[in-house]
Amino acid sequence: VEPRRRQRDLNLAVVKALSMRVARRASSRRVWRSHIGDSMISLDTRILKIAAVGAFWMTSAASAATGAARPPAGPVAACERLQGFVVPPFEIGLSTSGATVVSVKPVAASGTGAKALPDYCEVTGKISPLDRSAPDIQFKVGLPAQWNGKIVMFGGGGFDGTIPDITGNVPNGPVDELVPLGRGYATFASDSGHQANALGSQDGRFGLNDEAVRNFGGDALKKTHDAALAIIKARYGHWPHKAYFAGGSTGGREAVTAIQRWPSDWDGAIAWYPAWDDAAALLGGQRMNRALAKPGAYLSVGKRKALYDAAMQACDSLDGVADGLISDQQQCNARFDPVTATLNGAPLRCRNGADTGDNCLSDPQIEALKTINSTTHFRFRLVSGETQYPGYNVWGADLGITTRSSPVEPVVTFLAFGTSQPANPMPATAPYISVLTDQWFKYAVTRDPDFNSLSIDPEQPGVWANRISELSSQLDASTDISAFRRHGGKLLLVHGLADVLVSTRATEEYYRRLQEQFGIRQVDSFVRFYEIPGMGHAVSSTFNATWDSLSALEQWAERGKAPVAQVTTDTAGVPGRTRPLCDYPEWPRYVGGDVNRAESFQCSR
């Protein structure tokens, strides 16, 4: 046994050394290439592949020489045996220096009911870059003792920078159902190729490195997928038979990016509030940011509540009942105007437009809100083809009413207008989008950490137009998912109507483009899109939506049963109340009965 162990360690060392040599040589000299099918494989990579195969046979020979018995065919490898496991570069679909398992940890079963987790193996790994100055991609894989043969990859949020919880749920998943790992899925996720500082998901320093930018734009998805599947194959002896991606916000962009760029890797995807046109969204957010930074434009908490209450008084009953939710948001947007609106019979606009207190809005505040509600038009060319970013449904949205007692309100405030006005330098407590755009312009666009980001006009960025255009090609996802459709894939899109971080109207545009490309009937065969009244970005004190999207996706992708009569449950506004999930452009209209039950509403146009 000892000679075999020494031989195995020697073989792994050879493969690792060759992997490092390939990476160094690929970046320092011209590489001879040969065509194999549709792919290009370097001479060094072919040498490495031969070496890896040779290492396998050398290990086998050593085992035979020592008389050691071979394991039975197809056994489940022990968790500890994955320590130091190497995924060579040729097994990863995009260029890397290979992946390595840096630690493994057997985890005992825990929890009960919906919180139950099985015995599983937690694998932590890293994918090494070609550019030695670029960060690694750090990732984790959860390998349950009893595998159901399926995988779920989790997306991140903001600028990523941390590894999502592989023991967690899909975005806005139900609280009374097992999480994917608990259901027997192998799960995995990565930090998208950089490690965040104290700013967490708003840290944009990775923008200084081109490979890190490409990884965040989408390359890390493929690299992580391929490395994780090599580990899963080593653990269980076979590939998964179903593969799903689940993410929200940036994770939603990652979901639609993954199925568009690598359609054969995925059987289904769940995309909540997806920032699919990310460069366009950052530009739209910059226009909001600059509007709120103007003198007197930032809304106090009292003014946010006054605006919210005025919008509810004007629009709540448009769906047939005053239930604290605006379901017919389109009609609300058409009829609500803060200049003429009233609050408890008094004008919402302050007298003469001056700022006279928290119960009214001044003219600078109204101007900022109208800017946020309107479209950002790009007067320069983006490589991605995007020409605008739509406004946000700000009428009836919770912009961060910190006086609310809901336990999720701090998160709502953090993701909405924050607690500080945008300024230069940018306060960490400014609106989430303000910090995000500040970091993006400083590190990815200008690459000057001292740059005043507020000086950039997102509609006419001047000397920075070409750089922004270049970045759009990496950040904005294409809506052409025809190959995913041919593969038989299914896509679930969900967005809250009161989202002021990622515009709901942008997801509507994504869906309309699918309908234009495929036709309404064909889109219905593989995509569902739901909008949820009262739901903000990720969380909401008004209607904190949950839905068992994974089960719906399983039924559709595995049994051909398309989602029908789906229901979402609130866990914060009125805990336990339900609403129907209506196929866009339908919305829930009250028809009578208990206002807190989904069956009291009918999906209408």
Say how far apart CA 331 and CA 311 lie, in whole Å: 12
β-bridge mates for residue 236, sequence order: none
CA 476 vs CA 111, 143, 205, 291, 386: distances in Å: 40, 32, 20, 24, 8
- Catalytic machinery residues: 249, 499, 537
CA 106 vs CA 12, 142, 599: distances in Å: 23, 10, 45
Cβ 515 vs Cβ 138: under 8 Å: no
Say how far apart CA 295 and CA 424 lie, in whole Å: 13
Cβ 487 vs Cβ 298: under 8 Å: no
Phi, psi of 195 (to 5 degrees): -115, 125
Among 225, 245, 229, CA closest to 237:
229
Cα dihedral 447→448→454→455 (10° resolution): -100
Among 493, 497, 488, 465, CA closest to 477:
493
- 10 contact partners, CB below 8 Å, separation of at least 6: none
Among 190, 217, 220, CA closest to 95:
220
Where does 173-266 show beta strands of DSSP type E? 186-190, 242-248
Preceding omega of 425 cis (within 30 degrees of 0): yes
Phi, psi of 58 (to 5 degrees): -65, -40
Pair type for strands 268-272 and 242-248? parallel
| Per-residue b or e along 101-116, where b marks 16 or more CB atoms closer than 10 Å to that residue's CB | beebeebeeeeeeeee
Among 433, 496, 476, 478, CA closest to 273:
496
The tokens describing 88, both together, are 């060579």
The tokens describing 169, both together, are 């749920």
- The identity of residue 297, as a single letter, is A
Say how far apart CA 200 and CA 191 lie, in whole Å: 11
Q: How many CB atoms lie within 10 A of CB 3?
A: 12
Tokens 């390939």 belong to which residue?
22
3-class DSSP string for 35-67: EECCEEEEHHHHHHHHHHHHHHHHHHHHHHHCC
